[in-house]
Structure 1
Amino acid sequence: MKKHIIIGLSVVIAVVASCQPRTKEAQNVSAEQKETAVSQDIKPAESGYADVNGLKMYYEVYGQGKPIVLLHGSFMTIPLNWSHIIPLLAKDRKVIVAEMQGHGRTKDIAREFSYEGMADDVSGLLRHLKTDSADILGYSMGGGIAFQVAVRHPEQVRRLIVLSGTYAHDGWWPNVEASFATFTPDMFKGTPIEKQYDSLGNDPAHFPEFLKKVMSIDLKSYDWSKDVKKIQAPIFMAIGDADGVRYEHALELFRAKGGGKMGDLHGLPASRLAILPGTTHIGMMQRTDLLIPMITDFLDSDLNTAPPTF
């Protein structure tokens, strides 16, 4: 099954790349350049490396307005995960994107992978950028990091968005969780993930080590349920109806955050839940037609939870 997931991811990435707007000049660039370009129509206002917790963390900043931080999934990079989303959010927001430990241009260090450690890195990046607080959006692995940012650094989080992410290891369907141990480097042969790992200055010989280290965080038990349910920031959690995340897992958090009541009688909760139809875990990042309006509405809402009057 896991091989099918990796193949599916490669197809999705190829579709994303083919759908990007192209200028006349862009038609002549190489395939590798196309894979690493966010968009030909938008350039970062700032990019560089932040010294945080022993890392030189690569980041880019786009647009202006209220800041939102985008946290990518396992094995991904800024262009692979966010190329088609940055232009949509940067129209009226400051979009901060970064590459996590060992991913892309953020070189690995002698430190184990952990959601908590990467959350502290994100906190350090915000301080480096002199940003007191921001909206945090995480996808898959990035969703776990986002949960931990809100748990460990609540003062830096205005609102939290988690796409296809979990706050406990058993938040995944059992067969999905069991499949994590079956990842092998051969599954990534020739994929955009392997190609971009090589093209961004990493030693190809270390790719198996990179794979093993990234997967280590999901091969051990974790359960942040108590802490996550105490998060004060409003949470918008979205999963696909054909995702790897259990429906009950998302519903449990939504109920803890005020869901499970009739809004016409009790008012709307500050937090939100969406189950996107016809959407897989990998396909989640392709559903910008549904996601972007819901994300912007959540971020811009005044959180007036009072029930309507008649």
Structure 2
Amino acid sequence: MNRYMLSLISVMMAIVSCQQGPKEGQHTTATPKDTTAGQQLKPAESGYADVNGLKMYYEVYGNGKPIVLIHGSYMNIPLNWSHIIPMLAKDRKVIVAEMQGHGRTKDIPREFSYEGMADDVSGLLKHLKTDSADILGYSMGGGVAFQMAIRHPEQVRRLVVLSGAYKHDGWWPDVEAMYSTINADMFKGSPIQKQYDSLGNDPAHFDEYVKKVISIDLKPYDWTKAVKNIPAPIFMAIGDADGIRYEHALELFRAKGGGKMGDIHGLPKSRLAILPGTTHIGMMMRADWWIPMVTDFLDADLNAPPPTF
């Protein structure tokens, strides 16, 4: 097993152990823990939306301005968002969904694509009668979020991408090379496989699931021109030990008005953060760092002048 996969599985185990949610075998009713109230948060709404041939599983928490959370590869709502939802649902409507083939959203005879999953998110918002929302995507979900803003800009208020790429070589070369080595054996006995089994999927198809999910990163893609033309303000965050190249994030930030002294030229509407001591998988363990940055970005008057002294 390569070091990336060992790290992935180790961190997933750490995340699951910190959820304080239901024990193994109870994942279908897992609910995020509101650590301030000491109670289990229950979704105000949950169910399946018929979108593009999928029965897409979703949950809705809280009240306020809507934000959609899009999970990473091989993840689902409990694995990716259980510890995040309570932090955001205090004053926002948090919409979480499971992408094609993930969690409770069963796969269909359709290839995996960032574009297709973005169309599914768009369909979910229409199902929920939500005209527009802030969109936050992590890793694979970051690619889906970029495509959501490209293909459905009218539905995107502000865009947050955590450890995501908008072209295949936005990843470090060794990360790109690693993708073709991923197989189901690497996940055997891991929380990812256990969640796959416990959420009603056929264990006999786990190998196919692993291959199909990684297929979207085995072919080149480049959305640079379209991403630079996204009208919504963008907040992109990566770790300083992430799988995303620094230059990749900086290229987008400069294209969106960054790279100038704000005291002279004013602040750009888009933002960039590089978190210290943070890996790609570890981004989810830094929620206490990036959530205040994200909420400040989402709430800010981006037309306001910079402060003066």
Normalised-by-shorter TM-score class = over 0.9
Residues 281, 36 of structure 1: CA spacing in aligned structure 2 closer, same or farther, 3 A cutoff?
Answer: farther
- TM score, norm. by length of structure 1: 0.94
- Report the AA paired with residue 30 of structure 2: A
Equivalent in the alignment of 1:187: 186
AA aligned opposite 2:261: M
Shift of 1:289: 1.6
Q: Secondary structure at the match of 1:32?
A: coil
- For 1:278-297, what per-residue CA distance to the aligned partner results, in whole angstroms no more than 9, with x for missing partners? 00000001101211110110
Structure 2: segments with no counterpart, 5+ residues: 34-39
**Residue matched to 1:31:** 24
Judge conservation of contact 1:99–1:105 (CA < 8 Å) in 2: yes
What does residue 220 of structure 2 align with? 221
* Counterpart AA for 1:223: D
CA contact (8 A) 1:47 1:58 kept: yes
Provide Cα deviations, 1:219-241, integer angstroms capped at 9, x if missing partner. 00000000000001000000000
Residues of 1 paired with 2:182 and 2:133: CA distance?
34
SS at match of 2:46: strand
Aligned residue number for residue 37 of structure 2: none
CA contact (8 A) 2:31 2:41 kept: yes
Distance 1:268 1:305 in 2: 9
Question: Contact 1:60 / 1:97 at 8 angstroms: preserved in 2?
Answer: yes
**Contact 1:75/1:193 (CA < 8 Å) preserved in 2?**
yes
Instruction: Give me the whole-angstrom Cα distance separating, in 1, the residues matched to 2:221 and 2:78.
Output: 29
Aligned to 1:211: 210
Q: Contact conserved, 1:39 with 1:83, CA < 8 A, in 2?
A: yes
For residue 75 of structure 1, report the CA deviation from its aligned partner: 0.5
Counterpart in 1 of 2:264?
265
Q: Which residue of 2 is the match for residue 131 of structure 1?
A: 130
RMSD: 1.4
The answer to whether the Cα contact below 8 Å between 1:38 and 1:84 also exists between their aligned partners in 2 is no
CA contact (8 A) 2:134 2:156 kept: yes
Structure 1 residue 184: deviation in Å?
A: 1.2
Matched residue of 2:25: which SS? helix
Q: Which amino acid aligns with 1:213?
A: K
How many Å separate the matches in 2 of 1:112 and 1:215? Answer: 11
Q: Is the 8 A contact 2:112 2:213 kept in 1?
A: yes
After superposition, residues 115-194 of structure 1 pair within 5 angstroms as: 115-194=114-193
Work out the CA distance in 2 between the residues paired with 1:308 and 1:34: 47
Matched letter for residue 244 of structure 2? V
Task: Give the fraction of aligned pairs with identical amino acids, expressed as a percent.
Answer: 77
2:29 & 2:260 partners in 1: Cα distance?
A: 45
Conserved? CA contact 1:268–1:306, under 8 Å: yes
Match of 2:292 in 1: 293
**Structure 1 pair 307–43 and aligned structure 2 pair: CA distance change class (3 A):** closer
- Runs (4+) of structure 1 exceeding 4 A deviation are 307-310
Provide structure 1 residue ranges, at least 5 long, that are not aligned to the other structure.
Answer: 23-28
Is residue 16–residue 191 contact of structure 2 (8 Å, CA) maintained in 1?
Answer: no
For the residue of structure 1 that corresponds to 2:248, the secondary structure is: helix
Q: How many residues align?
A: 303
State the Cα deviation string for residues 35-75 of structure 1 (Å, max 9, x = none): 96232420100000000000000000000000000000001
